[in-house]
Amino acid sequence: MPKDGSGLSLDGLGLPLWLVLELTYKCPLKCPWCSNPVDFDQYRNELTTEEWKKVLRAGRRLGSLQLGFTGGEPMLRNDLEELVAEADSLGYYTNLITSGVGLNKDRLRALKKAGLKQVQLSIQSNDRQHSTKLVGVDVLDHKIDIARSIKAEGFPMVLNVPVSRFNIERTEALIDLAEDLGVEYLEFANLQYYNWALLNRAELLPTREQLAKSEAAVNAARARLGKKLTIFFVVPDYYDDRPKACMNGWGAVHLTIAPDGTALPCQEARLIKGIDFPSVRDHELDWIWHKSPAFNKFRGDSWMSEPCRSCSEKEKDFGGCRCQAFLFTGDAANTDPVCSKSSNRHLIDNLIARAEQRGIPETACDGPLKMRETKRRQRSEAQ
């Protein structure tokens, strides 16, 4: 699926080719880089099974082809197998994006029978103690066991590593683990700094030295392994001088439905203040995609100001990430500050300078990370 940091460029001919269903924001892990909203516990009115099925049918009518079931942790939905079966009957290529918690051999077999086509499993470390510090729960042994079960059931599998300065030194070890597990794809996804990752950015952002060393290890493994293992390495865009073509452009090929039914042009978009994102409970998906003000707000280039408006690369990067522009400048219509042409590029450079000064961590987690937890729990632990 296209996302921040991906190098994929695709003309979807105005169709939402990638549909992502965030079935729930609930998750047993406490990852301090979680992409869910910081106030995720405020969104409790999840769509019902029948409401999700309506979304699936509407998505196919719009032209959606690839479908991601994600969260939170989608395995916490007891109707996941039923939704997968519905999606398969409609002709979607279905992908489960999971931490592995809640997944077992019986549910794997049920999901395969329902028509699930691929599994993406997240893993944060090759070391149990280190993994527990990073995600707040002792789950590494289960992740490895379920990875072997996923392969035993014959699923194509992506092993996804969310990369920060706390685990980037383990690149070679994680490649060895992926090779041992027999997965087809390994993705080192350097974090994109939104929501929980934004809260912890000062601690999580790796140094240039770490990135260079990690990418060298990836390139060496590519040469050694060839087609045996495909390795993706997604660099944090702060270190580029041109912005990524985020989601191939706003409302171009990607459509996310949040647990409460809110429709979004990317999974992070609801953090932009001042945009009224429509709900599938109030509007037909066809209207949302084609006619809603939210999805049309940053389509094309008429919304652009300088330097984007006259830039020769605007049809390649679409002005970059609207969420990032909002977070740094307070205006989602501004040029992505990653761009060297942006008057706000110094904000990015200051962050990088601080990361360089902080250096490589001496221990597995040497910083005060804010772990993903509900505000209620944070208050109770503070008392």
Note whether residue 10 is domain-resident. Answer: no
Note whether residue 275 is domain-resident. Answer: no
Residues 225 and 305 in one domain: no
Residues 26 and 154 in one domain: yes
Q: Which of 212, 235, 258 is the last residue of a domain?
A: 235
CA distances 23 to 16, 44, 46, 70, Å, are: 18, 11, 7, 6
Question: Between the CA atoms of 218, 189, 344 and 317, what dihedral angle is there, to the nearest 10 degrees?
Answer: 90
pLDDT tens profile 199-242: 999 899 999 999 999 999 999 999 999 999 999 998 888 998 99
Closest C-alpha among 248, 287, 242, 247 to residue 269: 247
Q: How far apart are the two ends of the chain, measured CA to CA in Å?
A: 42
Q: Is 339 flagged in the annotation as binding? A: no
Closest C-alpha among 351, 364, 6, 22 to residue 197: 351
Helices (H) and strands (E) in the chain, counts: 15, 9
Q: How many other C-beta atoms lie within 10 A of the C-beta of residue 172?
A: 16
- pLDDT at residue 2 in the model: 37
Identity of the residue numbered 237: D
Q: In which band, very low, low, confident or very high, does the pLDDT at 136 lie, cut at 50, 70 and 90? A: very high
- pLDDT at residue 367 in the model: 64
Residues 100 and 225 in one domain: yes
DSSP H or E segment with residue 110: helix 105-114
Token readout for 33 is: 């880089």
pLDDT tens profile 37-56: 999 998 889 999 999 999 99
Please state the domain count of the chain.
2
Residues 213 and 102 in one domain: yes
Contact 151, 157 (CB under 8 A): yes
Note whether residue 279 is domain-resident. Answer: no
Task: For residues 56 and 285, give the distance between their C-alpha atoms in angstroms, rounded to a whole number.
Answer: 10
Contact 94, 88 (CB under 8 A): yes
- pLDDT at residue 365 in the model: 60
Residues 231 and 98 in one domain: yes
Contacts of 249 (CB under 8 A, 6+ apart): 299, 318
Note whether residue 328 is domain-resident. Answer: yes
pLDDT tens profile 322-361: 999 999 999 999 999 999 999 999 999 999 998 888 877 7
Note whether residue 252 is domain-resident. Answer: no
Q: Is 266 flagged in the annotation as binding? A: no
Residues 330 and 212 in one domain: no
Residues 57 and 189 in one domain: yes
Look over the chain and give the mean of its residue pLDDT values, rounded to a whole number.
92
Q: Which of 181, 203, 235 is the last residue of a domain?
A: 235
Q: Is 311 flagged in the annotation as binding? A: no
Residues 310 and 222 in one domain: no
In the chain the beta strands, taken as DSSP E runs, fall at 18-22, 66-70, 93-98, 118-122, 157-163, 185-190, 230-234, 254-257, 263-264
312 is in which domain, residue-wise?
298-360
Task: For residues 64 and 316, give the distance between their C-alpha atoms in angstroms, rounded to a whole number.
Answer: 23
Find how far residue 260's CA is from the centre of its chain.
18
Residues 64 and 147 in one domain: yes
Q: Which of 189, 211, 235 is the last residue of a domain?
A: 235
Sheet containing 93-98: order of strands: 230-234, 185-190, 157-163, 118-122, 93-98, 66-70, 18-22, 254-257, 263-264
Residues 127 and 198 in one domain: yes
Q: In which band, very low, low, confident or very high, does the pLDDT at 292 lie, cut at 50, 70 and 90? A: very high
Residues 223 and 346 in one domain: no
- Sign of the dihedral through C-alpha 60, 261, 73, 79: negative
The phi, psi pair for 351, rounded to 5°, reads: -65, -45
Note whether residue 287 is domain-resident. Answer: no
Note whether residue 24 is domain-resident. Answer: yes
Q: What is the CATH number of the domain that holds 41?
A: 3.20.20.70
Residues 224 and 350 in one domain: no
Note whether residue 66 is domain-resident. Answer: yes
Identity of the residue numbered 206: P
pTM given for the model? 0.92
Token readout for 300 is: 């094309």
Q: How many other C-beta atoms lie within 10 A of the C-beta of residue 228?
A: 10
